[in-house]
Protein backbone atom coordinates (compact mmCIF):
# COMPACT_ATOMS: atom_id res chain seq x y z
CA UNK A 1 0.00 0.00 0.00
CA UNK A 2 1.51 3.29 -0.98
CA UNK A 3 1.67 5.98 1.61
CA UNK A 4 2.01 9.47 0.22
CA UNK A 5 2.24 12.50 2.41
CA UNK A 6 1.84 15.96 1.04
CA UNK A 7 5.16 17.76 1.04
CA UNK A 8 5.54 21.34 2.11
CA UNK A 9 8.21 23.91 1.39
CA UNK A 10 10.94 24.50 3.97
CA UNK A 11 9.38 26.39 6.86
CA UNK A 12 10.99 29.80 7.24
CA UNK A 13 9.03 30.88 10.31
CA UNK A 14 8.75 29.55 13.81
CA UNK A 15 5.19 28.47 13.12
CA UNK A 16 3.54 26.29 10.52
CA UNK A 17 0.16 26.93 9.00
CA UNK A 18 -1.73 23.70 8.65
CA UNK A 19 -5.38 22.73 8.33
CA UNK A 20 -5.71 23.22 12.10
CA UNK A 21 -4.57 26.82 11.74
CA UNK A 22 -1.33 28.30 13.00
CA UNK A 23 0.76 25.82 14.96
CA UNK A 24 3.86 26.88 16.86
CA UNK A 25 6.96 25.00 15.84
CA UNK A 26 9.75 25.47 18.30
CA UNK A 27 12.02 22.64 17.19
CA UNK A 28 13.55 21.78 13.87
CA UNK A 29 11.88 18.64 12.62
CA UNK A 30 13.90 18.12 9.43
CA UNK A 31 10.81 16.66 7.76
CA UNK A 32 10.85 13.41 9.75
CA UNK A 33 7.79 13.19 11.99
CA UNK A 34 5.78 16.02 10.45
CA UNK A 35 5.13 16.57 6.76
CA UNK A 36 8.34 16.20 4.73
CA UNK A 37 10.16 19.32 3.53
CA UNK A 38 10.71 19.88 -0.12
CA UNK A 39 13.55 22.17 -1.13
CA UNK A 40 12.27 23.84 -4.23
CA UNK A 41 14.09 25.99 -6.71
CA UNK A 42 12.18 29.17 -7.30
CA UNK A 43 12.69 30.60 -10.76
CA UNK A 44 11.67 34.04 -9.56
CA UNK A 45 13.42 36.65 -7.47
CA UNK A 46 11.92 39.92 -6.39
CA UNK A 47 14.22 42.80 -7.21
CA UNK A 48 11.97 45.46 -5.81
CA UNK A 49 11.07 48.99 -6.74
CA UNK A 50 8.06 51.10 -7.50
CA UNK A 51 6.86 52.71 -10.72
CA UNK A 52 4.19 55.30 -11.26
CA UNK A 53 2.51 56.87 -14.29
CA UNK A 54 0.15 59.85 -14.46
CA UNK A 55 -1.54 61.26 -17.56
CA UNK A 56 -2.49 64.86 -18.25
CA UNK A 57 -4.40 66.53 -21.05
CA UNK A 58 -1.51 66.47 -23.51
CA UNK A 59 1.33 64.89 -21.59
CA UNK A 60 2.18 61.82 -19.57
CA UNK A 61 4.64 61.37 -16.72
CA UNK A 62 6.27 58.05 -15.90
CA UNK A 63 8.61 57.72 -12.94
CA UNK A 64 10.40 54.96 -11.05
CA UNK A 65 12.99 54.64 -8.33
CA UNK A 66 16.43 53.35 -9.25
CA UNK A 67 17.14 50.81 -6.50
CA UNK A 68 17.80 47.19 -7.42
CA UNK A 69 17.63 44.81 -4.47
CA UNK A 70 17.52 41.11 -3.70
CA UNK A 71 16.32 40.06 -0.28
CA UNK A 72 17.79 42.53 2.20
CA UNK A 73 20.69 43.45 -0.03
CA UNK A 74 20.96 46.39 -2.36
CA UNK A 75 22.54 45.31 -5.64
CA UNK A 76 22.59 48.75 -7.21
CA UNK A 77 21.45 52.26 -6.42
CA UNK A 78 21.32 53.33 -10.05
CA UNK A 79 19.46 50.96 -12.35
CA UNK A 80 16.71 52.28 -14.59
CA UNK A 81 13.24 50.76 -14.51
CA UNK A 82 11.97 52.89 -17.38
CA UNK A 83 12.20 51.92 -21.03
CA UNK A 84 11.24 54.00 -24.04
CA UNK A 85 9.25 51.72 -26.29
CA UNK A 86 8.48 54.40 -28.87
CA UNK A 87 9.17 58.14 -28.88
CA UNK A 88 5.65 58.59 -27.50
CA UNK A 89 5.51 55.85 -24.93
CA UNK A 90 7.50 54.71 -21.87
CA UNK A 91 7.22 51.40 -20.06
CA UNK A 92 7.95 51.24 -16.33
CA UNK A 93 8.45 47.77 -14.88
CA UNK A 94 9.14 46.48 -11.39
CA UNK A 95 9.50 42.87 -10.32
CA UNK A 96 12.07 40.30 -11.40
CA UNK A 97 14.79 42.15 -13.32
CA UNK A 98 15.64 39.32 -15.68
CA UNK A 99 11.99 38.92 -16.71
CA UNK A 100 11.70 42.68 -17.13
CA UNK A 101 14.79 42.76 -19.38
CA UNK A 102 13.56 39.87 -21.47
CA UNK A 103 10.10 41.43 -21.79
CA UNK A 104 11.66 44.68 -23.01
CA UNK A 105 13.74 42.79 -25.59
CA UNK A 106 10.67 41.02 -26.89
CA UNK A 107 8.71 44.28 -27.11
CA UNK A 108 11.58 45.98 -28.92
CA UNK A 109 11.72 43.23 -31.53
CA UNK A 110 7.96 43.27 -32.03
CA UNK A 111 8.06 47.07 -32.30
CA UNK A 112 10.80 46.92 -34.93
CA UNK A 113 8.90 44.34 -36.98
CA UNK A 114 5.80 46.55 -36.85
CA UNK A 115 7.85 49.52 -37.95
CA UNK A 116 9.33 47.61 -40.88
CA UNK A 117 5.91 46.41 -41.98
CA UNK A 118 3.88 49.59 -41.47
CA UNK A 119 6.53 52.28 -42.00
CA UNK A 120 5.54 54.06 -38.80
CA UNK A 121 5.87 53.68 -35.04
CA UNK A 122 3.26 51.82 -33.04
CA UNK A 123 0.67 54.04 -31.43
CA UNK A 124 0.49 53.86 -27.62
CA UNK A 125 -2.86 51.97 -27.43
CA UNK A 126 -1.39 49.41 -29.83
CA UNK A 127 1.72 49.02 -27.68
CA UNK A 128 -0.62 48.54 -24.73
CA UNK A 129 -2.50 45.74 -26.44
CA UNK A 130 0.72 44.13 -27.68
CA UNK A 131 2.18 44.12 -24.18
CA UNK A 132 -0.97 42.46 -22.88
CA UNK A 133 -0.79 39.77 -25.56
CA UNK A 134 2.91 39.20 -24.92
CA UNK A 135 2.28 38.75 -21.20
CA UNK A 136 -0.63 36.38 -21.75
CA UNK A 137 1.40 34.19 -24.08
CA UNK A 138 3.32 33.26 -20.95
CA UNK A 139 0.16 32.56 -18.95
CA UNK A 140 1.47 29.30 -17.45
CA UNK A 141 4.99 30.52 -16.61
CA UNK A 142 4.54 34.27 -16.34
CA UNK A 143 6.95 37.13 -16.70
CA UNK A 144 7.29 38.34 -13.12
CA UNK A 145 6.97 41.93 -14.21
CA UNK A 146 4.56 44.54 -12.87
CA UNK A 147 4.12 47.03 -15.66
CA UNK A 148 2.81 50.49 -16.13
CA UNK A 149 2.75 52.13 -19.57
CA UNK A 150 2.54 55.87 -20.02
CA UNK A 151 2.49 57.96 -23.16
CA UNK A 152 0.51 59.96 -25.70
CA UNK A 153 -2.16 58.30 -27.78
CA UNK A 154 -2.68 58.96 -31.50
CA UNK A 155 -4.86 61.98 -30.64
CA UNK A 156 -2.14 63.57 -28.52
CA UNK A 157 -3.93 62.93 -25.22
CA UNK A 158 -2.11 61.50 -22.21
CA UNK A 159 -2.63 57.77 -21.68
CA UNK A 160 -1.71 55.45 -18.82
CA UNK A 161 -2.20 51.70 -18.86
CA UNK A 162 -1.68 49.41 -15.85
CA UNK A 163 -1.10 45.66 -15.99
CA UNK A 164 -0.95 42.58 -13.84
CA UNK A 165 1.68 39.89 -14.41
CA UNK A 166 -0.40 37.94 -16.92
CA UNK A 167 -1.59 40.75 -19.14
CA UNK A 168 -4.88 42.02 -17.76
CA UNK A 169 -4.81 45.76 -18.49
CA UNK A 170 -6.83 48.88 -18.21
CA UNK A 171 -6.47 52.46 -19.38
CA UNK A 172 -6.73 54.93 -16.54
CA UNK A 173 -5.58 58.43 -15.65
CA UNK A 174 -2.96 57.30 -13.11
CA UNK A 175 -1.40 54.13 -11.80
CA UNK A 176 1.35 52.84 -9.53
CA UNK A 177 2.86 49.39 -9.35
CA UNK A 178 5.58 47.56 -7.45
CA UNK A 179 6.52 47.20 -3.80
CA UNK A 180 5.50 50.74 -2.86
CA UNK A 181 2.17 50.90 -4.68
CA UNK A 182 0.08 50.69 -1.49
CA UNK A 183 1.76 53.82 -0.19
CA UNK A 184 1.16 55.79 -3.39
CA UNK A 185 -2.19 54.81 -4.85
CA UNK A 186 -4.45 56.27 -2.11
CA UNK A 187 -2.50 59.52 -2.41
CA UNK A 188 -3.05 59.59 -6.18
CA UNK A 189 -6.77 58.86 -5.64
CA UNK A 190 -6.99 61.90 -3.41
CA UNK A 191 -4.79 64.34 -5.32
CA UNK A 192 -5.17 63.33 -8.98
CA UNK A 193 -8.54 61.58 -8.82
CA UNK A 194 -9.92 64.27 -6.47
CA UNK A 195 -11.77 61.64 -4.42
CA UNK A 196 -13.34 62.50 -1.05
CA UNK A 197 -12.76 66.17 -1.70
CA UNK A 198 -15.28 68.96 -1.75
CA UNK A 199 -13.03 71.74 -3.10
CA UNK A 200 -13.08 72.71 -6.78
CA UNK A 201 -11.02 70.44 -8.99
CA UNK A 202 -8.19 72.28 -10.70
CA UNK A 203 -6.49 70.94 -13.80
CA UNK A 204 -2.92 70.07 -12.91
CA UNK A 205 -0.03 70.94 -15.18
CA UNK A 206 3.09 68.87 -15.76
CA UNK A 207 5.26 70.76 -13.22
CA UNK A 208 2.66 70.35 -10.45
CA UNK A 209 2.33 66.65 -11.17
CA UNK A 210 6.12 66.24 -11.06
CA UNK A 211 6.06 67.74 -7.54
CA UNK A 212 3.34 65.26 -6.53
CA UNK A 213 5.41 62.40 -7.97
CA UNK A 214 8.44 63.53 -5.96
CA UNK A 215 6.35 63.63 -2.77
CA UNK A 216 4.99 60.17 -3.51
CA UNK A 217 8.49 58.73 -3.88
CA UNK A 218 9.72 60.41 -0.71
CA UNK A 219 6.80 58.78 1.11
CA UNK A 220 7.34 55.34 -0.39
CA UNK A 221 11.09 55.65 0.19
CA UNK A 222 10.51 56.30 3.89
CA UNK A 223 8.27 53.31 4.47
CA UNK A 224 9.21 50.70 1.87
CA UNK A 225 12.63 49.08 2.16
CA UNK A 226 12.77 48.20 -1.53
CA UNK A 227 12.15 51.77 -2.74
CA UNK A 228 14.74 54.51 -2.51
CA UNK A 229 18.11 55.88 -3.63
CA UNK A 230 16.94 58.11 -6.49
CA UNK A 231 13.96 58.69 -8.77
CA UNK A 232 13.96 58.83 -12.54
CA UNK A 233 11.12 60.88 -14.04
CA UNK A 234 10.27 60.96 -17.76
CA UNK A 235 7.82 63.50 -19.16
CA UNK A 236 6.29 62.64 -22.53
CA UNK A 237 4.99 65.57 -24.54
CA UNK A 238 4.35 66.35 -28.18
CA UNK B 1 -5.97 34.28 5.86
CA UNK B 2 -4.60 35.94 8.93
CA UNK B 3 -6.75 36.13 12.03
CA UNK B 4 -5.90 39.80 12.33
CA UNK B 5 -7.62 40.32 8.96
CA UNK B 6 -10.84 38.50 9.80
CA UNK B 7 -12.93 41.50 10.82
CA UNK B 8 -11.13 44.41 9.12
CA UNK B 9 -10.12 47.76 10.57
CA UNK B 10 -8.26 50.99 9.82
CA UNK B 11 -7.11 53.53 12.33
CA UNK B 12 -4.78 56.50 12.65
CA UNK B 13 -3.64 58.58 15.60
CA UNK B 14 -1.86 61.85 14.81
CA UNK B 15 -0.31 64.66 16.82
CA UNK B 16 -0.85 68.37 16.34
CA UNK B 17 0.09 71.48 18.31
CA UNK B 18 -1.14 70.75 21.84
CA UNK B 19 -3.75 68.39 20.45
CA UNK B 20 -4.06 64.80 19.25
CA UNK B 21 -6.53 63.17 16.93
CA UNK B 22 -7.57 59.56 16.55
CA UNK B 23 -9.67 58.22 13.71
CA UNK B 24 -11.07 54.84 12.77
CA UNK B 25 -13.37 53.26 10.24
CA UNK B 26 -16.74 51.80 11.26
CA UNK B 27 -16.88 48.46 9.47
CA UNK B 28 -17.28 45.10 11.13
CA UNK B 29 -17.09 42.20 8.72
CA UNK B 30 -16.77 38.44 8.72
CA UNK B 31 -14.28 38.08 5.91
CA UNK B 32 -16.20 39.11 2.80
CA UNK B 33 -19.52 39.83 4.46
CA UNK B 34 -20.13 43.16 6.17
CA UNK B 35 -22.06 42.75 9.41
CA UNK B 36 -22.10 46.21 10.97
CA UNK B 37 -21.48 49.77 9.80
CA UNK B 38 -21.14 51.40 13.19
CA UNK B 39 -18.79 49.18 15.14
CA UNK B 40 -16.85 51.05 17.82
CA UNK B 41 -13.10 50.57 17.77
CA UNK B 42 -11.89 53.73 19.53
CA UNK B 43 -12.66 53.96 23.22
CA UNK B 44 -12.25 56.88 25.64
CA UNK B 45 -10.18 56.07 28.69
CA UNK B 46 -10.55 59.23 30.70
CA UNK B 47 -11.08 62.70 29.31
CA UNK B 48 -7.73 63.16 27.59
CA UNK B 49 -6.91 59.62 26.50
CA UNK B 50 -8.27 57.38 23.78
CA UNK B 51 -7.29 53.89 22.79
CA UNK B 52 -7.96 52.47 19.34
CA UNK B 53 -8.04 48.69 18.94
CA UNK B 54 -7.74 47.09 15.50
CA UNK B 55 -7.89 43.37 14.92
CA UNK B 56 -10.18 40.55 15.95
CA UNK B 57 -13.43 42.13 17.13
CA UNK B 58 -13.92 39.76 20.02
CA UNK B 59 -10.50 40.66 21.42
CA UNK B 60 -11.13 44.35 20.72
CA UNK B 61 -14.10 44.26 23.06
CA UNK B 62 -12.44 42.01 25.63
CA UNK B 63 -9.27 44.07 25.83
CA UNK B 64 -11.27 47.26 26.06
CA UNK B 65 -13.15 45.88 29.06
CA UNK B 66 -9.92 44.64 30.60
CA UNK B 67 -8.19 48.00 30.16
CA UNK B 68 -11.14 49.86 31.62
CA UNK B 69 -11.06 47.56 34.64
CA UNK B 70 -7.32 48.01 35.14
CA UNK B 71 -7.55 51.78 34.68
CA UNK B 72 -10.37 52.12 37.18
CA UNK B 73 -8.52 49.98 39.70
CA UNK B 74 -5.40 52.12 39.28
CA UNK B 75 -7.34 55.34 39.78
CA UNK B 76 -9.07 53.99 42.87
CA UNK B 77 -5.80 52.82 44.40
CA UNK B 78 -3.58 55.71 43.38
CA UNK B 79 -6.22 58.43 43.70
CA UNK B 80 -4.90 60.13 40.58
CA UNK B 81 -5.43 60.06 36.85
CA UNK B 82 -3.44 57.61 34.75
CA UNK B 83 -1.06 59.35 32.36
CA UNK B 84 -0.91 58.20 28.72
CA UNK B 85 2.64 56.89 29.14
CA UNK B 86 1.58 54.69 32.05
CA UNK B 87 -1.48 53.53 30.15
CA UNK B 88 0.66 52.56 27.17
CA UNK B 89 2.97 50.55 29.46
CA UNK B 90 -0.03 48.91 31.15
CA UNK B 91 -1.34 47.88 27.74
CA UNK B 92 2.05 46.48 26.78
CA UNK B 93 2.22 44.41 29.98
CA UNK B 94 -1.33 43.13 29.56
CA UNK B 95 -0.50 41.97 26.04
CA UNK B 96 2.85 40.40 26.91
CA UNK B 97 1.29 38.47 29.79
CA UNK B 98 -0.48 36.59 27.01
CA UNK B 99 2.69 36.10 24.99
CA UNK B 100 1.95 32.48 24.03
CA UNK B 101 -1.79 32.83 23.45
CA UNK B 102 -2.08 36.44 22.38
CA UNK B 103 -4.97 38.82 22.04
CA UNK B 104 -5.22 39.36 18.28
CA UNK B 105 -5.26 43.12 18.32
CA UNK B 106 -3.10 46.02 17.16
CA UNK B 107 -3.68 48.87 19.61
CA UNK B 108 -2.89 52.56 19.25
CA UNK B 109 -2.95 55.05 22.10
CA UNK B 110 -3.51 58.79 21.73
CA UNK B 111 -3.69 61.25 24.57
CA UNK B 112 -2.54 64.48 26.17
CA UNK B 113 -0.42 64.33 29.28
CA UNK B 114 -1.00 66.65 32.23
CA UNK B 115 0.91 69.47 30.49
CA UNK B 116 -1.30 68.99 27.41
CA UNK B 117 1.62 67.65 25.42
CA UNK B 118 0.59 65.07 22.81
CA UNK B 119 1.38 61.42 23.39
CA UNK B 120 1.12 58.70 20.71
CA UNK B 121 2.03 55.07 20.80
CA UNK B 122 1.29 51.92 18.89
CA UNK B 123 2.11 48.32 19.52
CA UNK B 124 1.88 44.86 18.05
CA UNK B 125 -0.23 42.00 19.37
CA UNK B 126 2.33 40.94 21.98
CA UNK B 127 3.07 44.36 23.41
CA UNK B 128 6.11 45.69 21.55
CA UNK B 129 5.49 49.42 21.79
CA UNK B 130 6.68 52.27 19.65
CA UNK B 131 6.27 55.88 20.76
CA UNK B 132 5.91 58.36 17.90
CA UNK B 133 5.82 62.12 17.73
CA UNK B 134 3.98 62.32 14.41
CA UNK B 135 1.49 59.52 13.75
CA UNK B 136 0.75 55.85 14.31
CA UNK B 137 -1.46 53.58 12.23
CA UNK B 138 -3.04 50.14 12.61
CA UNK B 139 -5.38 47.82 10.76
CA UNK B 140 -5.69 45.89 7.53
CA UNK B 141 -4.44 48.66 5.24
CA UNK B 142 -1.37 49.95 7.08
CA UNK B 143 0.53 50.40 3.80
CA UNK B 144 -2.15 52.73 2.47
CA UNK B 145 -2.39 54.55 5.81
CA UNK B 146 1.36 55.02 6.12
CA UNK B 147 1.55 56.39 2.59
CA UNK B 148 -1.22 58.92 3.18
CA UNK B 149 -0.01 60.05 6.61
CA UNK B 150 3.64 60.32 5.55
CA UNK B 151 2.65 62.58 2.66
CA UNK B 152 -0.02 64.73 4.31
CA UNK B 153 1.46 65.11 7.81
CA UNK B 154 2.97 68.42 8.90
CA UNK B 155 4.21 69.16 12.41
CA UNK B 156 2.32 71.56 14.68
CA UNK B 157 -1.08 71.47 13.02
CA UNK B 158 -4.04 73.11 14.73
CA UNK B 159 -7.13 71.08 15.66
CA UNK B 160 -9.04 71.94 12.47
CA UNK B 161 -6.16 71.16 10.13
CA UNK B 162 -5.44 67.99 12.09
CA UNK B 163 -9.04 66.90 11.53
CA UNK B 164 -8.79 67.49 7.77
CA UNK B 165 -5.51 65.57 7.55
CA UNK B 166 -6.87 62.63 9.54
CA UNK B 167 -10.11 62.56 7.55
CA UNK B 168 -8.45 62.65 4.11
CA UNK B 169 -5.82 60.10 5.10
CA UNK B 170 -8.39 57.67 6.49
CA UNK B 171 -10.85 57.98 3.61
CA UNK B 172 -8.24 57.68 0.85
CA UNK B 173 -6.59 54.68 2.51
CA UNK B 174 -9.79 52.78 3.34
CA UNK B 175 -11.20 53.33 -0.16
CA UNK B 176 -8.44 51.05 -1.43
CA UNK B 177 -9.05 48.31 1.14
CA UNK B 178 -11.94 45.92 0.86
CA UNK B 179 -11.97 45.08 4.56
CA UNK B 180 -12.15 48.57 6.00
CA UNK B 181 -14.31 51.61 5.46
CA UNK B 182 -18.11 52.03 5.66
CA UNK B 183 -17.70 55.50 7.16
CA UNK B 184 -15.34 56.95 9.68
CA UNK B 185 -15.18 58.67 13.04
CA UNK B 186 -12.58 61.22 14.14
CA UNK B 187 -11.94 62.42 17.69
CA UNK B 188 -9.83 65.55 18.24
CA UNK B 189 -8.57 65.90 21.81
CA UNK B 190 -7.48 69.33 23.01
CA UNK B 191 -7.06 70.90 26.45
CA UNK B 192 -10.58 72.30 26.09
CA UNK B 193 -12.22 68.96 25.43
CA UNK B 194 -12.97 66.36 22.79
CA UNK B 195 -14.69 67.07 19.48
CA UNK B 196 -16.04 64.03 17.66
CA UNK B 197 -17.03 64.11 14.00
CA UNK B 198 -18.40 61.40 11.75
CA UNK B 199 -17.11 61.06 8.21
CA UNK B 200 -19.29 60.53 5.18
CA UNK B 201 -17.48 58.27 2.80
CA UNK B 202 -17.98 55.45 0.34
CA UNK B 203 -20.24 52.80 1.81
CA UNK B 204 -18.80 49.82 0.05
Q: For the CA atoms of chain B, what is the radius of gyration?
A: 16
Local confidence pLDDT in tens for the 238 residues of chain A: 455 556 666 665 555 555 555 555 555 665 566 666 677 888 999 998 999 999 999 999 999 999 999 999 999 999 999 999 999 999 999 999 999 999 999 999 999 999 999 999 999 999 999 999 999 999 999 999 999 999 999 999 999 999 999 999 999 999 999 999 999 999 999 999 999 999 999 999 999 999 999 999 999 999 999 999 999 999 999 9
The pLDDT, as a whole number, for residue A122 is: 96
- Check CB contact of B165 with chain A, cutoff 8 Å: no
Q: Which residues face A176 on adjacent strands?
A: A52
Which residues of chain A does B144 touch, with a Cβ-Cβ cutoff of 8 Å? 182-183, 185-186
Would you list the DSSP string of B47-92?
TTEEEEEEE-HHHHHHHHHHHHHHHHHHHHHHSSPPPHHHHHHHHH
Buried b (16+ CB within 10 A) or exposed e, B90-124: bbbebbeeeeeebbbbbbbbbbbeeeeebbbbbbb
pLDDT 10s digits, B56-68: 999 999 999 999 9
Which residues of chain B does A215 touch, with a Cβ-Cβ cutoff of 8 Å? 151
Closest CA to B15 of B115, B171, B158: B158
Q: How many CB pairs under 8 A join A and B?
A: 60
- Check CB contact of B151 with chain A, cutoff 8 Å: yes
Question: Taking chain B, what is the end-to-end CA distance rounded to the nearest angstrom?
Answer: 21
Q: B79 to chain A nearest CA, in Å?
A: 42
% of chain B with per-residue pLDDT over 90: 98
- Is residue B14 over pLDDT 60? yes
Q: Flag if A223 and B146 touch (Cβ within 8 Å).
A: yes
Average pLDDT, chain B: 96
Buried b (16+ CB within 10 A) or exposed e, B41-73: bbbbbeebbbbbbbbbbebbbebbeebeebbee
Q: Judge contact between B121 and B128, C-beta under 8 A.
A: no
The pLDDT, as a whole number, for residue A49 is: 93
Q: Flag if B148 and A216 touch (Cβ within 8 Å).
A: no
Choose from B4, B130, B172 for mutation: most chain A CBs within 10 A. Answer: B172
Choose from A184, A194, A196 for mutation: most chain B CBs within 10 A. Answer: A196
What value does the mean pLDDT take over residues B42-49?
95
Q: What one-character DSSP code corresponds to residue A34? A: S
Q: Is A85 helix (H, G, I), strand (E, B) or coil?
A: strand
Q: Judge contact between B187 and B50, C-beta under 8 A.
A: yes
The pLDDT, as a whole number, for residue A40 is: 83
pLDDT 10s digits, B136-152: 999 999 999 999 999 99
Residues 6 or more apart whose Cβ sits within 8 Å of residue A136: A166, A167
Angle formed at CA A138 by CA A135 and CA A144, multiple of 5 degrees: 65
pLDDT 10s digits, B188-198: 999 999 999 99
Q: How far apart are CA A88 and CA B93, in angstroms?
A: 59
Rounded to the nearest 10°, the torsion over CA B113, B119, B124, B130 is -120
The pLDDT, as a whole number, for residue B90 is: 97
The pLDDT, as a whole number, for residue A3 is: 54
pLDDT 10s digits, B76-103: 999 999 999 999 999 999 999 999 999 9
Amino acid sequence: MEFHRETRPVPQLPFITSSEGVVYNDSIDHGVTEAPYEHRFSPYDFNGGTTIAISGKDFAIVAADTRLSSGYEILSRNVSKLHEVTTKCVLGSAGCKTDVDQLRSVLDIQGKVYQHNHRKQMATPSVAQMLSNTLYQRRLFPYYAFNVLGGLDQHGKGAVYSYDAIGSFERSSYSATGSGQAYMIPLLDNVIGHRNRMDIEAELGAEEIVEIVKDAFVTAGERDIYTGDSVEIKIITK
Amino acid sequence: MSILEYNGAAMIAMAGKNCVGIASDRRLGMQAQTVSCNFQKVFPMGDKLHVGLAGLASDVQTVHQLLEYRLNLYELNEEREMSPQVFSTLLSNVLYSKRFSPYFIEPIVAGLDKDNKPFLSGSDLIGATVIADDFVVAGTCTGNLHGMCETLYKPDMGPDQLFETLAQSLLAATDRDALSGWGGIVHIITAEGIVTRELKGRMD
